[in-house]
A and B are shown apart, each in its own frame.
Chain A
Amino acid sequence: MSDINKGDSILEIRGLAVEVQGKRILEGLDLTVRAGEVHAIMGPNGAGKSTLSQVLAGRPDYDVKAGTVRYLGEDLLALAAEERARRGLFLGFQYPVEIPGVNNVYLLKAALNARRRQLGQPEVDAFEFLGLVRDKMRLMQMDESFLSRGVNEGFSGGEKKRNEILQMTVLEPILAILDETDSGLDIDALKVVAHGVNSLKRDDRAIVLVTHYQRLLDHIVPDHVHVLAGGRILKSGDASLALELERRGYDWVRAEAAAA
């Protein structure tokens, strides 16, 4: 699918500072993500986790005050939201918006074709596309009726999250950022979602999980775990750090960082 090899740099964030409505949320954030890796970004409420996800996806009203973000060697911040998406950056939204009147499956087809045009590939025809989507829907244990409904219209919280992962598996991104994908899921739905994410793990792709709880990480094992608090990464470690956070909370990380 691509000429990206395991270990190649996919995302490099240096000194990122972001304001939202005049309020500084991120301050000097650094992060490097390489192909083949799964990262988990954890942190207390209000730490800036969602802000980071939204800024990487190009949300217009978030103000980048300082820092650089390189994505596959390109200046990510110079790209519009849709250009980032077409280059293979996927954001699984924490709160996927409902868009009544816009058909779910046609949005997905339009999104896939936008991505394929970028890759110089021919657009899929409706027949081919439906076959592909049906396969992925089986994987996500989704009902056929999702095809004909409006985007997230009347979906339950769990259905919205499944729909996000369905989109991800169809779009096959290079970098997937999943913002609190586990929140609002019961344990069965969590397993389905985790299965969908795991099916996407590859050497030429990276996954960033933004999450509150260790729970999701029982099902998707990260290579790197980062603690985001006060607008920057305070500590990084391997999967065991997540377990430690689950046990000890976040305060000790803050204390450690303050002492350093």
Chain B
Amino acid sequence: MSANPQATSPLAPLAAAQAGLPGGAAWGAWRADALERLMAVGLPTPRDDAWKYTNLRLLARRDLLPAAPRPLATGALDDLPAIAGPRLVFVDGRFHAALSAAELPDGCTFRSFAARFAAEAPAALGASLAGDARLADERLRTLNASLAADGPSLELAPGARPAEPIHLVHVATGGGAYPRTRVELGAGATLELVESHLSAGGAEAFVAAAGDFRLGRDATLTHSSLQLAGARTILLDDAAVTVAAGARYEHRLVALGGQLTRLDLRIALEGPGARAVLAGVFFPDGTREQHLRTLIEHHARETSSDQRYRGVASGRGRGSYDGKVVVHPGAFKTDSRQSSRNLLIGREAAIESRPQLEINADDVKCSHGATTGTLDEQMMFYLLARGLDRDTARALLTYAFVGDVLRRLSPEPLRRAAEARVLGRLPAAELLREFVP
């Protein structure tokens, strides 16, 4: 906590922006209260343990005011993988019906948050909406809540299993954007969800996204986050996930863009047998910063979590993996694994890694492994001894380093798009393409 947050706070001008947000007076008061609580503590700084590796000093000079709606240039969505199925597009945090193809499958209900704000009272939407600003972990959630105008709210009826993935697309055109997402799966429902973050127009942008994902009994959600934001976009994405008994939450992160990006993934495994399977790659190059923080709380028996992250930093790129697993008393037979492997290319690249275990039950099996370093010398020598040139061998091993995570991506177009983009960052891409199965 800084001593006098208001003095330099970029939050100060935001109160005025709350006036134009949807919802009645009750929402106005609710938002004012959220912003006030946030201003009392200020934005997180590296002194807050949860933000040790993410420095938000860039925000001091960033325009955080919600962007005025502006037209999107043609071709702005060309970078997106061609994923079949319904697509919901949000520009600067607001639903864009014309770009969306919202033909939703049976059992799936979509409402925009703008409509929900207008129709429902704050209390009805749930207390977790605003987070607890006193906790550094949840402060960005509070910021989002105080300015969110819109966003997708999806509900899957019990047992619903849409055949095609649903693609949520967020486009930042400049200024602040505060999209709010909620996805609720009824018992036994299964959904594949892709969230893509893009920028358009190249202006400075700030996105503080927040989402709630609730999985009912035996539900399965496969959730992929594709971060392709532009080089002048700061993207802070905060997802809170609750997983009921027997349900399975899978998350995939592909972080390839942005000026500074961060994903906070807080997962509560609430019922027996709940599972979380997380994997991802982050690839900070140039002067990019890409951060990832996961918190998995095992509250019940026989819950399991598996995390597998790969970071590759080059140039002056910086990245971090800060993952914590908490096993609460009584969560016996918990099985938890964390793997964080990081590759540094270049003298000024840096990756911090912090795989943490907090275990308060005895009958558990938990492990983590973390490595940071350069390419494996023995592998390198083997390839050279077979006549490959150094650049190719290096590129090949770099690709192979992230390959096992990329291969897990789905749907297929997302995997291919991610692979192509990673290859595009490496020399000898043509040759490497052959190595991709």
Contacts and interface: CB of A to CB of B under 8 A. Distances in A.
B12 interface: no
A99 B389 contact: no
Interface string B392-433: 110011011101100000000000000000000000000100
Contacts of B435: 102-103, 106-107
A97 B382 contact: yes
B388 A111 contact: yes
B384 interface: yes
Contact of B382 (A80, A96, A109, A110): A96
B397 A102 contact: yes
Given A106-B434, A106-B435, A99 B397 contact: yes
Given A99-B400, A148-B437, A93 B382 contact: yes
A110 B399 CA distance: 16
User: Which bucket holds chain B's interface residue count?
Assistant: 20 to 34
A58 interface: yes
Interface in A94-133: 96-97, 99-103, 106-111, 114-115, 118
B384 A101 contact: no
A91 to B, nearest CB: 5
Contacts of A103: 435, 437
A84 B387 CA distance: 7
Given A60-B377, A101-B399, A171-B386, 10 more contacts: A57-B381, A58-B384, A61-B377, A84-B385, A86-B387, A109-B434, A110-B386, A110-B388, A110-B434, A111-B388
Contacts of B392: 110
Contacts of A109: 434
Contacts of A80: 384, 390
B388 A114 contact: yes
A59 interface: yes
Interface in A118-156: 118, 148, 150-151
Contact of B403 (A57, A86, A101, A148): A101
B366 interface: no
6 contacts: A81-B381, A81-B384, A82-B387, A97-B381, A109-B434, A150-B400
A85 B437 contact: no
A107 B435 CA distance: 8
Contacts of A111: 386-388
Contacts, number: 85
B8 interface: no
B389 A114 contact: yes
Contacts of A181: none
A195 to B, nearest CB: 22
User: Which bucket holds chain A's interface residue count?
Assistant: 20 to 34
A167 interface: yes
Interface of B: 376-379, 381-390, 392-393, 396-397, 399-401, 403-404, 431, 434-435, 437
A108 B385 CA distance: 12
Contacts of A167: 386
B388 to A, nearest CB: 6
Contacts of A57: 381, 385
A114 B388 CA distance: 6
Given A59-B381, A61-B377, A109-B434, A82 B400 contact: no
A100 B404 contact: yes
Contacts of A107: 383, 386, 388, 435
Contact of B384 (A85, A96, A118, A150): A85
A-B pairs, 8 with minimum CB distance: A101-B400, A101-B403, A114-B387, A85-B387, A81-B384, A111-B386, A82-B384, A97-B378
Contacts of A93: 382, 385
A60 B381 contact: yes
A222 B153 CA distance: 76
Contacts of A101: 399-401, 403-404
A59 B401 CA distance: 22
Contacts of B401: 101
